[in-house]
Amino acid sequence: MSRVKVDPAELANVWELERRYNAKLLFAEVWPNGHAMVELQPVADVGWYIDVWDRRARLVLVREEGGHVYADEVLELDPQMLHDLTTQVVCNDHGSSWDINRVYYPLSRESVELFHQLMAKARTKKNDR
């Protein structure tokens, strides 16, 4: 983790702040002297993460315009590749440690490479409506 002094105005766009530092914002404190201190957790990619809830792991894509989407709702994903990615991120990157927020961002180059391989094979789901 790292602590960085920033202009408080930068806190208005957390996505840009996280992208600039390639890290997740954990804590921010605005000081009366016109500065702010942020605590950041470096990650390998802020554009996606694995969400684990009720014994189910799902790949979540972070949208630049804001918000998140479960990848399996919009993409057809290779099940084995998704399993391999989930195992890499949760078990290898994080050592199977439990995250109270249930969010596991990738920490390694290997995770990012597996993600890109998965996305290369992914296909947009056809709208059934």
Q: DSSP string of 69-98?
A: EEHHHHEE--HHHHHHHHIIIIIIISTT--
Kindly report, residue by residue over 72-116, the tens digit of the pLDDT.
Answer: 999 999 999 999 999 999 999 988 777 667 899 999 999 999 999
Is residue 129 domain-resident? no
- Structural domain total, the chain: 2
Kindly report, residue by residue over 8-43, the tens digit of the pLDDT.
Answer: 999 999 889 999 999 999 999 999 999 999 999 999
Contact predicate 43/23, CB 8 Å:
yes
Which is higher by pLDDT, 86 or 66?
86
Say yes or no: 101 and 85 in one domain. yes
Contact predicate 57/67, CB 8 Å:
no
Say yes or no: 26 and 59 in one domain. no
Is residue 90 domain-resident? yes
Is residue 86 domain-resident? yes
pLDDT at residue number 128: 58
Contact predicate 42/66, CB 8 Å:
no
Say yes or no: 103 and 69 in one domain. yes
* Residue 115 lies in domain: 48-124
Q: What is the mean pLDDT of residues 58-69?
A: 89
Contact predicate 18/45, CB 8 Å:
no
* Token digits of residue 43: 């990650």
